[in-house]
């Protein structure tokens, strides 16, 4: 099996947000693009990863299909003019570099926040979509399982995934810690700027259901609420929701909104009420933390937590890359061994023909029980004969010296006339 693996990528690193928005794909659009790739290009294996920071297509093909893929992506998104998009895409046609890129993306080394905790789950969903569409063959199955195993090693063997390294995720992580003993805790999120919107998506990822969101632009709140199955509230009535929510997060600057001590003092707080102020200038009066049952966290508390986590991650980068390199070496070795599989299959077929021809001459002279025994013995002999050349071929692959052995087997057993049995897809 010849191995070809390519990547087409557009990301925050070299592309402005307005362009990334034009190529970002939701789940239905990813499924639509996969179908178009199958119909137009004849690809057998492909995976599409689309997040707020990147849109990427991974595929197996001897041919560079990047221009066609961008055209199909543009059609899926409804763009008539797509020629200006090509300049923003990175095209990676080298097998090892494309594989390395996927590992680095999946493990968070290419994320805006190094070590991003969400990206591995986004990759898993992208892979599952390809598998469900029968668009993941031997290469993608093996490669993605290698990625997931490598991620497990990184989690177990390094501090790379310890702690939350972005303000929004650290905030969501704090909300989870503060409410871990509550059944269906309620959360009010005020303000949907970049950080506020990310907090909303992160609490959604963490499984929170009873979440209310408010924003000065109501349309943005309604759009995000639909995305995450949350509820919107009017910013004018936020005080009423403060009364019954367990956690209140504000990222609206203090010149536009102020949560004051007097209001919180007037509340009947039977347990605990937690406030997280992400705004600059601050939108929650410091004095409320003196009220019994009330806790207050500000942006400095959150950033101190993220800085510590990010420092640990950066220190672990070399170790993570070493683990990735080991996994890539193992995967690339597997692709080499897969390259000799057709020769091994042809060799086995040639011996099987000889075995059957010889058995046919004598089986009619044997009793059924004798025939069954001869069948079993000769099959076992064939397996043992095939095993040694197969081991030698795989060892030669590791030395990059398999061509001579393949040539000898082809010449000795006339393997060119043998059909190659189609391998079954498997994970």
CA 89 – CA 180 distance, rounded (Å)? 43
Nearest to 43 by CA among 141, 145, 147, 130: 130
CA 28 – CA 26 distance, rounded (Å)? 6
Nearest to 250 by CA among 202, 211, 213: 213
CB-CB contact of 210 with 186 (8 Å): yes
Question: Which of left, alpha, beta for 134 (phi over 0: left; psi -120 to 50: alpha)?
Answer: left
- Residues comprising the chain, all counted: 427
Helix, strand, coil share (%) of the chain residues, nearest 5: 60, 10, 30
- Strand 186-190's sheet: what is its strand order? 231-232, 210-214, 186-190, 247-250, 273-277, 294-298
Beta-ladder partners of 188: 212, 248
CB-CB contact of 340 with 375 (8 Å): no
Per-residue tokens: 355: 């075995």
Cβ neighbours, 10 Å, residue 69 = 25
CB-CB contact of 299 with 306 (8 Å): no
Question: Please, what sign has the CA dihedral across residues 11, 17, 21, 27?
Answer: positive
CA 8 – CA 56 distance, rounded (Å)? 5
User: Which positions are catalytic?
Assistant: 52
């Amino acid at each position: 099996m010849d191995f070809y693996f390519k990547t087409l990528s557009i990301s925050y690193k070299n592309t402005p947000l307005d362009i990334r928005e034009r190529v970002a794909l939701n789940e239905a659009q990813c499924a639509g693009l996969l179908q178009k790739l199958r119909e137009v290009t004849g690809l057998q294996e492909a995976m599409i990863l689309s997040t707020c920071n990147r849109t990427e297509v991974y595929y197996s093909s001897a041919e560079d299909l990047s221009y066609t893929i961008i055209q199909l992506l543009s059609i899926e998104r409804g763009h008539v003019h797509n020629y200006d998009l090509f300049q923003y895409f990175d095209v990676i046609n080298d097998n090892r570099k494309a594989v390395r890129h996927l590992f680095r993306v999946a493990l968070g080394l290419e994320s805006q926040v190094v070590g991003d905790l969400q990206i591995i789950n986004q990759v898993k969903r992208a892979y599952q979509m390809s598998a469900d569409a029968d668009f993941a063959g031997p290469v993608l199955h093996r490669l993605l399982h290698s990625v997931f195993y490598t991620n497990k090693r990184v989690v177990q063997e390094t501090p790379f995934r310890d702690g939350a390294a972005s303000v929004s995720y650290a905030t969501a992580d704090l909300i989870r810690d503060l409410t871990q003993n509550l059944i269906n805790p309620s959360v009010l999120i005020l303000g949907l700027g970049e950080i506020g919107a990310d907090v909303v998506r992160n609490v959604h990822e963490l499984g929170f259901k009873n979440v209310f969101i408010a924003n000065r632009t109501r349309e943005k709140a309604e759009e995000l609420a639909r995305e995450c199955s949350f509820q919107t509230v009017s910013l004018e009535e936020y005080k009423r929701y403060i009364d019954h929510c367990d956690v209140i997060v504000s990222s609206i600057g203090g010149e536009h909104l102020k949560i004051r001590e007097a209001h919180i003092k007037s509340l009947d707080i039977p347990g605990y009420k937690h406030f997280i102020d992400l705004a600059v200038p601050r939108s929650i009066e410091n004095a409320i933390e003196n009220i019994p049952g009330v806790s207050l966290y500000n942006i400095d508390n959150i950033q101190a937590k993220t800085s510590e986590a990010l420092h640990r991650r950066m220190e672990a980068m070399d170790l993570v890359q070493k683990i990735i390199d080991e996994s890539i070496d193992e995967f690339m070795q597997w692709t080499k061994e897969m390259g000799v599989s057709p020769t091994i299959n042809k060799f086995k077929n040639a011996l099987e023909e000889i075995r059957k021809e010889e058995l046919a001459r004598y089986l009619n002279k044997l009793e059924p029980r004798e025939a069954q025994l001869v069948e079993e013995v000769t099959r076992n002999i064939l397996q043992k004969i095939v095993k040694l050349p197969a081991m030698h071929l795989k060892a030669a692959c590791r030395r990059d010296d398999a061509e001579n052995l393949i040539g000898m087997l082809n010449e000795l057993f006339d393997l060119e006339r043998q059909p190659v049995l189609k391998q079954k897809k498997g994970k």
